[in-house]
């Protein structure tokens, strides 16, 4: 099991290209596999999570070719070419589908599998096996799919069927739940809709619309009319805001730093951290704003600035959902206290991110109060070096490595193999900024 050792940093300076967007990479593979015709995906994220989605669709007969620099290639020279099978062209997998660590793979696949005339079993690693699947099983069962599982946790078997459209009032703001129901809705005669308590990321909606699905958005309700033929597309995946977030925050926290982070997706359903850091006093500018494959993109310029504590709640939570671990690190080094509430969802991520972050920051000398749905963090000038358990959670591992850049001495982050699920080459990229 690997670990990261990190020390108080010299200024971070330079330009970086973060990895491609994970959420968009998953969706590009799914919708291209369900389209009729050949799609090309450029700048796909070759990390373990989206590769689990590629493998799943290959197991169901989608023809997926990787051209260019090989499977580990980065950038737009590596292409994925998918010969879509149409909505009803997938075949039953011969073996169980392994979703690895990826909740997005498992939950979105549940939606697709609900519309198939066959059964498939989905399994995952130890972390995914602890994550709740009832949130998709419930609406998909109402539509007519059948599930077998141990109390709503993986592994689970989905048996597709003739689906009825539903109007689903989701109890959680979750793009995975919303996307899963919308994907199943493609197989219904009629209109399926999902209403969320707050808006979650909208990549599925943007991509479905571009593929020619009849999709409508009315405030917090998204509806799709089933049975449309999906068109293939040529997609360039923007770089991942959630991965850029570690470097944005590092650039703000480490004295003397100035970083330009290139070609980053700035979809407003994802950029809560940017708004929050600005409200905490950070200097962040967006340059070269443009649109790429239906998604807003920009270069993000950050420089070191002292921060002050803030309160975060309500509709900021889903827009920041994957950035709370790194936001907690920013809060630990801000002046005054930061209070995060309304973020109970953090308890069911790759780890219980409320408890994991609370334990990690306490080890580094920070006073933290754990709430049922968030945390209160009292900021300090510097952190104490410590040995930190990542609990196998990629975003905790990277966040605590960034925390180590402001600790007096050597910090060790344990169990860091998980970083490969979303950000292969994370430490190497950080080191390019320290030269």
User: What residues are labeled active site?
Assistant: 322
From 87, 122, 143, 175, residue interacting with ligand S3P (rule: CB under 6 A): 175
Min CB(108)–ligand S3P separation in Å: 7
Q: If binding is defined by CB under 6 A, does position 52 make contact with ligand S3P?
A: no
Positive or negative torsion for Cα 67, 69, 75, 76 = negative
CA 35 to CA 334: how far, in whole Å? Answer: 48
Residue 433, SS3?
A: helix
* Nearest to ligand S3P of 200, 223 (CB atom): 200
Scan for tokens 């739940």, then name that residue: 177
**Do the strands 221-225 and 191-195 form a parallel or antiparallel pair, or are they unpaired?**
antiparallel
Min CB(30)–ligand S3P separation in Å: 11
Q: If binding is defined by CB under 6 A, does position 320 make contact with ligand S3P?
A: no
Min CB(62)–ligand S3P separation in Å: 19
Q: Is residue 137 a contact partner of residue 182, using CB atoms and an 8 Å limit?
A: no
* Nearest to ligand S3P of 238, 385 (CB atom): 238
Instruction: Provide, for the chain, the percentages of residues in helix, strand and coil under a 3-state DSSP scheme, each rounded to the nearest 5.
Output: 35, 30, 40
Q: If binding is defined by CB under 6 A, does position 257 make contact with ligand S3P?
A: no
CA angle 190, 63, 103 (to 5 degrees): 65
For residue 260, the surrounding DSSP H or E stretch is strand 258-265
Q: Is residue 418 a contact partner of residue 394, using CB atoms and an 8 Å limit?
A: yes
From 48, 98, 196, 322, residue interacting with ligand S3P (rule: CB under 6 A): 322
Q: If binding is defined by CB under 6 A, does position 29 make contact with ligand S3P?
A: no
Q: Is residue 116 a contact partner of residue 139, using CB atoms and an 8 Å limit?
A: no
Q: If binding is defined by CB under 6 A, does position 346 make contact with ligand S3P?
A: no
* Nearest to ligand S3P of 379, 392 (CB atom): 392
Please choose, from the candidates 221, 155, 147, the residue with its C-alpha nearest in 3D space to the C-alpha of residue 185: 221
Min CB(178)–ligand S3P separation in Å: 7
From 176, 233, 239, 389, residue interacting with ligand S3P (rule: CB under 6 A): 176
Query: What's the first-to-final CA gap in the chain, in angstroms?
Result: 27
Q: If binding is defined by CB under 6 A, does position 295 make contact with ligand S3P?
A: no
From 39, 105, 127, 174, residue interacting with ligand S3P (rule: CB under 6 A): 174
Q: If binding is defined by CB under 6 A, does position 267 make contact with ligand S3P?
A: no
* Nearest to ligand S3P of 200, 411 (CB atom): 200
* Nearest to ligand S3P of 204, 389 (CB atom): 204
| CA distances for 397 relative to 6, 124, 406, angstroms | 12, 20, 15
* Nearest to ligand S3P of 98, 196 (CB atom): 196
Q: If binding is defined by CB under 6 A, does position 32 make contact with ligand S3P?
A: no
Min CB(264)–ligand S3P separation in Å: 16
From 12, 18, 23, 139, residue interacting with ligand S3P (rule: CB under 6 A): 23
Main-chain dihedrals φ then ψ at residue 377, nearest 5 degrees = -120, 130
**Do the strands 153-159 and 146-150 form a parallel or antiparallel pair, or are they unpaired?**
antiparallel
From 321, 328, 360, 396, residue interacting with ligand S3P (rule: CB under 6 A): 321
Main-chain dihedrals φ then ψ at residue 8, nearest 5 degrees = -50, 135
* Footprint on this chain of ligand S3P (rule: CB under 6 A): 23, 104, 174-176, 179, 200-201, 321-322, 345
């Amino acid at each position: 099991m690997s670990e990261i050792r990190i020390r108080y940093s010299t200024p971070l300076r330079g330009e970086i290209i973060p990895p491609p967007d994970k959420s968009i990479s998953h969706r590009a593979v799914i919708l291209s596999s369900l389209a009729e015709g050949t799609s090309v995906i450029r700048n796909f994220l070759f990390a373990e999570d989206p590769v689990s989605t590629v493998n799943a669709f290959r197991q169901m007969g989608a023809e997926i070719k990787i051209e260019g620099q090989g499977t580990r290639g980065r950038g737009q020279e590596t292409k994925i070419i998918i010969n879509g099978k149409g909505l009803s062209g997938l075949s039953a997998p011969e073996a169980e589908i392994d979703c690895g660590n990826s909740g997005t793979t498992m939950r979105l696949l549940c939606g697709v599998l609900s519309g198939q005339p066959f059964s498939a079993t989905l399994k995952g690693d130890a972390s995914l096996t602890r994550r709740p699947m009832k949130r998709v099983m419930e609406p998909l069962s109402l539509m007519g799919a059948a599930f077998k599982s141990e109390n709503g946790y993986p592994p689970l078997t989905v048996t597709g069927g003739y689906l009825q459209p539903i109007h689903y009032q989701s109890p959680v703001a979750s793009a995975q739940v919303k996307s899963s129901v919308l994907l199943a809705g493609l197989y219904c005669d009629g209109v399926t809709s999902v209403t969320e308590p707050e808006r979650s990321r909208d990549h599925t909606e943007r991509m479905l619309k571009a593929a020619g699905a009849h999709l409508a958005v009315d405030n917090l309700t998204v509806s799709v009319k089933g049975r449309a033929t999906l068109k293939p597309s040529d997609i360039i995946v923007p770089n991942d805001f959630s991965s850029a977030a570690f470097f944005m925050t590092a650039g703000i926290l480490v004295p003397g730093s100035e970083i330009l982070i290139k070609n980053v997706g700035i979809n407003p359903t994802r950029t809560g951290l940017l708004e929050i850091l600005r409200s905490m006093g950070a200097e962040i500018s967006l340059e070269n704003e443009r649109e790429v494959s239906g998604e807003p993109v920009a270069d993000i310029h950050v420089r070191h600035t002292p921060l002050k504590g803030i309160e975060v709640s309500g509709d900021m939570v889903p827009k920041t959902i994957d950035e709370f671990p790194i936001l907690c690190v920013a809060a630990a080094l801000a002046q005054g206290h930061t209070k995060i509430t309304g973020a109970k969802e953090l308890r069911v991520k790759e780890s219980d991110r409320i408890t994991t972050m609370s334990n990690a920051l306490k080890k580094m000398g920070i006073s933290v109060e754990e709430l049922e749905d968030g945390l209160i963090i009292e900021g300090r000038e510097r952190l104490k070096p410590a040995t930190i358990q990542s609990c196998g959670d990629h975003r905790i591992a990277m966040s605590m490595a960034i925390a180590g850049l402001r600790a007096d001495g050597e910090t060790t982050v344990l169990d860091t193999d998980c970083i490969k699920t979303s950000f292969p080459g994370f430490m190497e990229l950080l080191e390019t900024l320290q030269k």
